Amino acid sequence: MAESMRDLLDECGCETVGPAPRLEVALELASHELLDGALLDINLAGEYCFPVARLLRERGVPFMFLTGYDDCSIVPVAFRDAPRLFKPFDRLEVAVTAARHFVPTPS
């Protein structure tokens, strides 16, 4: 699915970083890459992505969660305001939501 998301974003003209299938890789990318936004799958090979979300928030990088979990209690209170898209995804919905949250508005 991560490859599909990357392909979709590339088709929309985004320059993508990743995917990061494991928490360790995601933390590395979130620490060192210049990012306009991030799509975070809540479950990364059995580990939750919330340390990545924390790091991105500290850096001021917007993010949204991609998830199959419909129970919001899994998301820490500090991140419940973050946008979420639920699996299965509609490609247009992903593109529109990413553009809305990640594309800087001209000043």
**Structural domain contains residue 96:** yes
**CATH code of the domain in which 17 resides:** 3.40.50.2300
Parent domain of 40: 2-102
Number of domains in the chain: 1
**Structural domain contains residue 107:** no
**Structural domain contains residue 92:** yes
**Structural domain contains residue 79:** yes
pLDDT per position as a tens digit, 81-96: 998 888 887 888 888 8
pTM for the predicted model, two decimal places: 0.86
**Structural domain contains residue 9:** yes
Task: Give the integer Cα–Cα distance in Å for 85 and 89.
Answer: 7
Res 64: pLDDT: 92
